[in-house]
Structure 1
Amino acid sequence: MGLFFKGVVREGKKVRWPNKKSMYENTSTVLVFCVFFGLFFSASYVIAQSILKAIEYM
């Protein structure tokens, strides 16, 4: 068990962690894309729902 954790620590030291600026840039990019795709899929749902209702009332 101790050998496993030694390996974990060794691999953790090999990781190249991002700096603060890079972390903020990456986080903001992910959030912007999440908001964009959330709005896109919400609009797609509303449009599809409107089309299906229009077809239903024909």
Structure 2
Amino acid sequence: MIRNEMESDVNVKADLELTRLQEKINEISKEDLAELKKQVNMMNSLLEKLTARQDIKTT
């Protein structure tokens, strides 16, 4: 009986740790996604400026 309780405690602790790790991974993923969106927006802005310059040169 004691062994079953110990195994149950270990399983509960492992589940909690896995949950914490998954939450951490999700948070990192959100941060990475936010950074990627920021970089894409910056590149789009630069592309628009370059396109505008090309339009000025061709007119």
TM over 0.5: yes
Percent identical across equivalent pairs?
0
- Which runs of no fewer than 5 residues in structure 1 stay unpaired? 1-16
Question: What is the CA RMSD across the aligned residues, in angstroms?
Answer: 1.6
How high is the TM-score relative to the length of structure 2? 0.64
Q: TM-score, normalised by structure 1?
A: 0.66
Between structures 1 and 2, the one with greater helix share: 2
- In the aligned structure 2, how far is the partner of 1:23 from the partner of 1:56? 49
Match of 2:30 among 42, 46, 57: 42
The structure that has the greater radius of gyration is 2
Q: Report the number of matched residues.
A: 42
Alignment gaps of 5+ in structure 2: 47-59
